[in-house]
């Protein structure tokens, strides 16, 4: 009975995306730390992760959404702007970080709101 409250698709998706956003921030901070290191290639979330998540969301399989893991991979497609092979672009990386932070904030707001709504339904008192 308890699990059905928390098994709604949007809520599970939001939780999984929080994990992804957190991992992405770690990857981006690693990239920004190595913006001057010769030969460094930037790291990001695997590019087909979004497709996998969309496929699982369409199939309505709650368990496998929770089991999906965001993995980091080296991004070789980004153009190299420096002669030493480093392909981290400072401004684009900063922009990605800000966008990621916004997404994280939205996801925490959404999760907090969901939990508050459930609490209102259970206790019958509007907080």
- Closest approach of Cβ 58 to another protein, in Å? 24
Q: Provide the binding-site residues for another protein, judged by CB under 8 A.
A: 1-3, 5-6, 15, 18-19, 22, 25-30, 32-40, 43, 90, 93-94, 97-98, 101, 104-105, 108-109, 111-112, 115, 118-119, 122-124
Q: What is the secondary structure of 47-116 as a DSSP string?
A: TTHHHHHHHHHHHT-HHHHHH----EEE---SPP-STTS----HHHHHHHHHHHHHHHHHHHHHHHHHHH
Question: Residue 85 region, left (φ>0) first, then alpha (ψ -120 to 50), else beta?
Answer: left
CB closer to another protein out of 25 and 61: 25
CB closer to another protein out of 50 and 112: 112
CB closer to another protein out of 33 and 50: 33
- Closest approach of Cβ 126 to another protein, in Å? 15
């Amino acid at each position: 009975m308890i699990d059905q409250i928390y098994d709604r698709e949007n809520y599970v998706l939001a939780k999984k995306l929080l994990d992804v956003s957190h991992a992405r921030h770690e990857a981006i901070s690693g990239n920004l730390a190595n913006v001057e290191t010769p030969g460094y290639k930037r790291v990001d979330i695997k590019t087909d992760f979004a497709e996998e998540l969309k496929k699982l969301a369409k199939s309505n399989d709650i368990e496998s959404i929770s089991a999906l893991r965001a993995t980091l991979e080296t991004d070789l497609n980004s153009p190299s702007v420096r002669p030493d092979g480093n392909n981290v672009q400072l401004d684009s990386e900063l922009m990605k970080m800000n966008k990621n932070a916004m997404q994280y904030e939205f996801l925490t707001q959404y999760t907090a709101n969901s939990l508050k709504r459930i609490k209102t339904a259970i206790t019958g008192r509007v907080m």
